[in-house]
Amino acid sequence: MKDQLQSSKCAISLKAIGDPERLKIIQCLQLGPMHVGAIADVLDAEIANVSHHLQTLKHAALVEVKKQGKFAFYSLSAEVLAENDVLELGCCRLQLGKK
């Protein structure tokens, strides 16, 4: 049988977004690139926890990171961000709320 869903890749993406805090981070990043401290402030969360969640999202290729000076700015990955606030995961789509 041909694996049309790319099950292994899909499972990684779904596991990554299966956490409420990571879904909140994704919603924050809808507004544009942010550094860990800014995301932590918006979510009223510990920087260490946000950083951990960002690494999980990065591993799943859902976020990208760009260094600017001493800061690392995270944004939603261009590979998965479709028009109209939709994350295109390959196996399914996630309709994000309005910005």
Using one digit for the tens of pLDDT, what is the confidence trace for 13-54?
Answer: 999 999 999 999 999 999 899 999 999 999 999 999 999 999
> Is 70 exceeded by the pLDDT of residue 99?
no
- For 7-95, CATH number out of 1.10.3720.10, 1.10.10.10, 3.40.1080.10, 3.40.605.10 equals 1.10.10.10
Burial degree of 32 (CB within 10 A; 0-12, 13-18, 19+): exposed
Query: Token digits for 63?
Result: 């976020």
Where are the domains positioned within the chain?
A: 7-95
* pLDDT 10s digits, 46-94: 999 999 999 999 999 999 999 999 999 999 999 888 878 899 888 889 9
Tokens standing for 97? 């709320």
Predicted TM-score (pTM) of the model is 0.90
As beta bridge partners, residue 82 has 86
- Tell me how far apart the alpha carbons of residues 75 and 98 are, in angstroms, rounded to a whole number: 17
Q: What is the pLDDT of residue 6?
A: 80
Contact 35, 73 (CB under 8 A): yes
